[in-house]
Structure 1
């Protein structure tokens, strides 16, 4: 037997003995054996981290179609079927496909769908080029735009349309019949406005598209901020500067264990949930908006009836007419007095043990986490706000650790977090009729994601990771609802960030840091969703749980 063969046999005999003497698996000092790869001691080649971009062409009758990949070589397409650009792109790189030259003989219009995105862990193959001999214009109706203008819209991630006034406007490039259109806001107005595209996606038929609306509002800058401080049994009060900074105007004692604080959408009222003490329930305050120092609170009433035994969360309906409280396994509904802000009456249905309610912006549904393992959708009576039971539910594995759910402003998508290490964010589409949730994807987050927030434009999602002391940030695909990590994330926050709050203009984000007794202020890049370096602000109270803003 040759010497080399005898040596190889000896190695295979000795390896089990070595493993046994080291105790088998475990941590440091362990021993692992891997057979040599072909070619001896040379390591295997690294996996290819560059990927191609391609897709398919349909409806092509003419000749001369040329497609372009931004920053890359062109590709000429002569017939229906698959195409691929020759250049490969790095993982994380952005890509955008457009038509450089339309076909002729016969003359056609070709439209690119799924034209842009970010390279992941595989080749891109879903770019769809639809060609037709007829095409239609896509128009939008803009309302509420400030005179300063500055609004820029896009159709199918291109064909920029600058708008500086209310009215009807059409994109320059027509869309092939049979292709999809998708209108999005590329740049928000120069003024402190938020514009949202509605009825913005569909397929072009034989008539021009005229159903898309762009609704612009002027929410105004937030003037006051409040935190629920579990450690000092108080609600802290702040004024908000033009740069998002907070100035303390004192603390209001609660006498219990406050968990959450929320504001009324249009009146100077706030509501704090309290799970212990003589005032266990929901405490209603009026905000002083005129007397110096402004932002101080006057307690109006402690509501102990109709809110359950452990009211962890209180939310106010978008129309300001109803309140919802959860925490004891029931979803409690109360009426909000339009003149005083008092919470009166009340009914309850089974469900609602989480720390958060996701309320549909149109008042159709309430979404809650039940027992950390399922997401329940309650349809709401449009007149009374009454939850209709039993709800539709999505059940996850028993160890899922669900804690929060957030709804984007058009009410088409919902996001839930799984608070493990590493955590996970789950994306869902919302059925417009029933509110039923259908999972459309997931992305990794930090260690124990807890509170979440969607910015007012619906373009970005933020999650506070309690045990990794940072904030994960994602862009939201306006067509599909899919999440893509924002470059540079995660962003460092204070110790144990329990929640994240975005201001009504989409310029600032705040985390309430429970362990470090601080609030971290971030500026938001309204184009990319990236957060600037966090500024640590001292918290007046101890153990801040949530932060609420109002004007």
Structure 2
């Protein structure tokens, strides 16, 4: 089978045939799978690993069929750079709004019209479906759904959790990578509510009874295959794991899988490697391999650090950023997934609740909660250091508890 690849700028693209044949692609042009298929054999070409540095999405056309008597020559793979479009920031406890922005090519934020939308009940966290069509906001009383149409437009009424642990403090919302499920981590009821996503309008419906967690948990990260997910519970200083059913959204508890620092809700997973990052009880920033059963194994030695409240691995998987108080610690990812400390960026006083990356891995966004600012830094692709030259940053907001960036 011959495949024509175009638009490739990044590295790491791997195509896969359903027969199990992988094809690493390093350049544009005509490519051929090494495994020959007999006449009449079925094929289904998909993107196994997308290109990074720069991060790209690749689309397969004419990728399924049956081999005839001649070579298959009409399969094309077209790649394009990921471009961030919008950013949204829930105001946090005591507030009832979500700020909406356009993300400029410089990483700068420009307020949309309207600049805010209503989300009563202290909106805490935010997540966007993989297609970038719907925004989900978690508050103390509800999970809200908004349509993304260049601004943020409410779709009907909020999807209330009144039938599933209403008012028990949704501190984290997360969307399954397949775009079919929303997970709401409830701080006060110590459980996770699972919702089905309607593929047409993004509305939510219960996918079953809530799943127990530890005490007062936040964050929710999937491993790269979405086979496992993890949340962190600060009073217990524990990470809890779950096996994820991608067909039903169901979570099967694995129990406690890791002990962590008492200094914050800092865990994150690598976008490509089966690795989870966390701060251990001795305040070492550490990397843990995610085993086939969802358990975790330490990789090498941790890096002496300080406690951290939030972690992010930028989408290219080369750098990790940890925020605690008003400082960001920068780490580079080694070949085995372990970390090396690079630098510290200080930006004042107070507490930053969350740190995140744009969709392309070019910028870092910090929700500087106590200062009511959104801070933006440009990532130096050479070493991952943060450059404070984004126009207009920091941005003054009524309140900010998290930031999510769409593409």
Q: TM-score, normalised by structure 2?
A: 0.76
CA drift of 1:377 comes to: 1.3
* Secondary structure at the counterpart of residue 515 of structure 1: helix
Paired position in structure 2 for 1:428: 288
- How many equivalent residue pairs? 348
Counterpart of 1:470 in structure 2 is 327
Q: Indicate the SS of the match to 2:367.
A: strand
Change (3 A) 1:524 1:194: farther
Q: 1:315 Cα shift?
A: 0.5
Match of 2:180 among 303, 321, 331: 321
Deviation for aligned residue 1:366: 1.1
Deviation at 1:241, TM superposition (A): 0.7
Q: Which has the higher contact order (CA 8 A, sep 6+)?
A: 2
1:306 aligns with 164
Q: Deviations over 1:306-343 (max 9, x none)?
A: 25511111100000101111123112211111111111
Partner of 2:129: 264
Q: 1:436 deviation in Å?
A: 0.9
Task: Give yes or no for contact 1:187–1:527 (8 Å, CA) kept in 2.
Answer: no
Once the two structures are superposed, the pairs formed by residues 278-317 of structure 1 within 5 Å of their partners are 280-289=141-150, 295-300=151-156, 301-304=158-161, 305-306=163-164, 309-317=168-176
- Which one of the candidate residues 344, 350, 353 is aligned to 2:212? 350
1:504 to 356, 359, 368: 359
For the residue of structure 1 that corresponds to 2:177, the secondary structure is coil
Cα distance in 2 for residues equivalent to 1:458 and 1:503: 13
Structure 1 equivalent of residue 398 of structure 2: 541
SS in 2 for 1:546: coil
Query: Which of 82, 85, 90 pairs up with 1:228?
Result: 90
Shift of 1:494: 5.3
Q: 1:484, CA displacement in angstroms? A: 0.4
Q: Is the 8 A contact 1:464 1:470 kept in 2?
A: yes
Structure 2 regions of 5+ residues with no counterpart? 14-23, 35-48, 59-76
1:365 paired with 2:228, answer yes
Tell me the TM-score normalized by structure 1.
0.57
Is 1:400 the counterpart of 2:267 in the alignment? no
Are residue 337 (structure 1) and residue 202 (structure 2) matched? Answer: no
Is residue 2:340 matched to residue 1:484?
Answer: yes
Deviations 1:339-359 (A, max 9, x none): 111110132221153220011
Distance 1:149 1:323, change over 3 A: closer
Match of 1:514 in 2: 369
Name the CA shift for 1:412/1:395 in 2 (closer, same or farther; >3 Å).
closer
Residues 435/222 of structure 1: CA separation in 2 closer, same or farther (3 Å cut):
same
| Shift of residue 402, structure 1, vs aligned partner | 4.9
- Within 1, Cα distance between the matches of 2:152 and 2:245? 35
How far is the alpha carbon of 1:186 from its aligned partner? 12
Contact 1:194 1:456 in 2 (8 A): no
- Secondary structure of residue in 2 paired with 1:456: coil
**CA distance in 2 between partners of 1:150 and 1:169 (Å):** 20
Counterpart in the other structure of 2:73: none
Q: 1:149 to 1:271 in 2, by over 3 A?
A: closer
> CA–CA distance in 2 between the matches of 1:168 and 1:223?
35
Please give the alpha-carbon distance, in whole angstroms, between the structure 1 residues aligned to 2:174 and 2:337.
24
Q: Structure 1 residues 508, 330: closer, same or farther in 2, change over 3 A? A: same
Secondary structure of 1:339's counterpart equals coil
> Distance between the aligned counterparts of 2:33 and 2:330, measured in 1?
33
Q: 1:457-476: CA deviations, max 9, x gaps?
A: 2111111112xx12111111
Question: Is the aligned partner of 1:242 residue 2:105?
Answer: yes
Is the Cα–Cα contact under 8 Å of residues 499 and 546 in structure 1 kept in the other structure? yes
Give the direction of change, closer, same or farther, for the CA distance of 1:187–1:299 in structure 2 (3 Å limit).
closer
Gaps of 5+ in 1: 1-142, 154-160, 171-183, 196-214, 290-294
Taking structure 1 as reference, are residues 341 and 491 closer, same or farther at Cα in structure 2, changes over 3 Å only?
Answer: same
2:252 to 384, 388, 392: 388
Change (3 A) 1:241 1:144: farther
C-alpha RMSD over aligned residues: 3.2
